[in-house]
Chain A
Amino acid sequence: MGSDRDGQGHPHVLAARAAVPCARAIAVALALLASCSANAVAGPIKLTATFARGATLGAATVLDAELHVAPRRAPATEVRVYYPASLGILSSGLGLVACRRPASDFVTVLITAPRLGGCSPNAVMADGSARADVQLSDGQVIREFATVALLSGAVVNGRIGLVFFVEGVRPFGARLVYAGELRPAPAPFGGALVAHLPAIPSLAGTATVALTDMRLAIGSHTIVYRARTGKRYRPEGVALPSRCPRGGFRFRGEVAFADGARAVAETVVRCPPPAGSM
């Protein structure tokens, strides 16, 4: 009786019992895979995020975020990178002043302006690089390499604006400007860095520009601000909390394409060690 009630000796129970360690093994293997790769790939985009070497909990660091977009027919029109709520993006020392560009710049995209569009270096939040496929009307595709600077923009309707300056390095040397913003995000995210990537009107019928890679180092060591006294200093980077969020720091990338398609990728950054443990 007892063994019947316990289900011992029944083939399906034996199978189920055998399946439990198997399922555990699979779960452990999947968890290991997830923790090892830390780069989730879902569809045509891939997101990678890392903290600078030597980062510790409770201290400021550099956040490196890299997005790869697989070549498609339709170019990306909007990129969003969601970051964890506990991550101090707003509580960093980045983006002390706002970069204000005329709204027409974000429509024409191609601009003729000095470096950073004449905006203060104290607005720079991140620097990085980008790659784009420039598809000419004859079908030829040319890969363009560029540098990117992310600046804090004006606050409009309570929303903090962002300005993305893209400077072509080779083979073209165009200077582009894109609008963006810091958007609220559902938990466990604190917000999202959004970049709007409209088509370039002056290239209509001649070429399309499709983003394939973008790397941003938020709070990069190369960012230098100038205090009111004229003294140069390095602004404090992204503030890490003293405790790690459960499961690590989760990021999500979302890309919208001109053909209406959307792609999502997530990644989890493992917890850096607490301060004083290194």
Chain B
Amino acid sequence: MIKQGLRTWKAAWAVGILVGTLALWQATVASSARPAAQTAKRSTLKVNATAHLRLVKKDGSILHERGTVTGTPAGTVTARFNVSNVAKTTGTMTFKPYGGGSITVTAVVHPAGSVSKFAGNFAVRRGSGKYARAVGSGTLSGSVNRRTWAVTATARGTLTY
């Protein structure tokens, strides 16, 4: 009777340990698989886009612009440029690709050869929708019509989202 009780206890322990080990294994496998699955979902896009902007409002040394983007990713763009610093122009550009979501980048450009040409860099600051976790950077170059403040800017770089 005592022996039978011990056997039952042992069996119960063995089952318990087995279930616990299985659960632990499952949890470990699941947790290690999650980032892999997430990484697999991230995409990298080669940015090669040209923005055509026109002046919406001028406020002292701040220019507010709006326009369209052709290339990858294509869509619409709004921008705010600060031209108060003679050595560099800083700006924030928000792209809204036609596929949805948005990407906001900060840009720093310098005069390149003449006052109407510029070159510099951009970096992704934030995003929304499918670009909510976007990161990326690249180069920015273009020209500006100093009479109308129409801007043509070409961005090249990478975007991971």
B57-68 Cβ-contact flags toward A at 8 Å (1 or 0): 011111100000
A241-B60, A241-B62, A242-B60 in contact; A91/B86 too (CB < 8 A)?
no
Contact of A159 among B62, B87, B116, B147 (CB under 8 A): B87
A241 to B112, CA, bound (A): 26
Contact of B115 among A85, A87, A160 (CB under 8 A): A160
B61 A190 Cβ-Cβ under 8 A: yes
Q: Is the interface of B mostly helix, strand, loop or mixed?
A: loop
Contact of B86 among A96, A98, A183, A240 (CB under 8 A): A183
B85 A96 Cβ-Cβ under 8 A: no
A93 at the interface (CB under 8 A from B): yes
Give A185 Cβ to nearest chain B Cβ, in Å: 8
Q: Is the interface of A mostly helix, strand, loop or mixed?
A: loop
B59 A58 Cβ-Cβ under 8 A: yes
Q: Which residues of B sit under 8 angstroms from A86, Cβ to Cβ?
A: 60-61, 84
A154 to B62, CA, bound (A): 24
Q: Which residues of B sit under 8 angstroms from A227, Cβ to Cβ?
A: 147
A128 at the interface (CB under 8 A from B): no
A248 at the interface (CB under 8 A from B): no
A160 B60 Cβ-Cβ under 8 A: no
A90-B61, A91-B60, A93-B146 in contact; A191/B85 too (CB < 8 A)?
yes
B31 at the interface (CB under 8 A from A): no
Give B36 Cβ to nearest chain A Cβ, in Å: 45
Q: Which residues of B sit under 8 angstroms from A190, Cβ to Cβ?
A: 61, 84-86
Contact residue range for chain A? 20 to 34
B52 at the interface (CB under 8 A from A): no
A152-B115, A155-B111 in contact; A85/B86 too (CB < 8 A)?
no
Q: Which residues of A sit under 8 angstroms from B116, Cβ to Cβ?
A: 96
B79-103 Cβ-contact flags toward A at 8 Å (1 or 0): 0000111110000000000000000
Q: Which residues of A sit under 8 angstroms from B111, Cβ to Cβ?
A: 155, 158-160
Give B148 Cβ to nearest chain A Cβ, in Å: 9
A158-B110, A184-B87 in contact; A241/B59 too (CB < 8 A)?
yes
Closest A residue by C-beta to B148: A93
A95-B115, A184-B85, A184-B86 in contact; A87/B147 too (CB < 8 A)?
no
A55 to B88, CA, bound (A): 28
A242 B61 Cβ-Cβ under 8 A: no
B86 A239 Cβ-Cβ under 8 A: no
A241 to B87, CA, bound (A): 20
A206-240 Cβ-contact flags toward B at 8 Å (1 or 0): 00000000000000000000010000000100011
Most buried by A among B84, B113, B115: B84
Q: Which residues of A sit under 8 angstroms from B115, Cβ to Cβ?
A: 90, 95, 98, 152, 155, 160
Binding site for B on A (CB under 8 A): 58, 85-91, 93, 95-96, 98, 152, 154-155, 158-160, 182-185, 190-191, 227, 235, 239-242
Sample (10) of A-B pairs whose CB atoms are under 8 Å apart: A58-B59, A85-B85, A88-B58, A90-B115, A91-B58, A91-B83, A155-B113, A155-B114, A160-B86, A240-B60
Binding site for A on B (CB under 8 A): 58-63, 83-87, 110-116, 146-147, 149
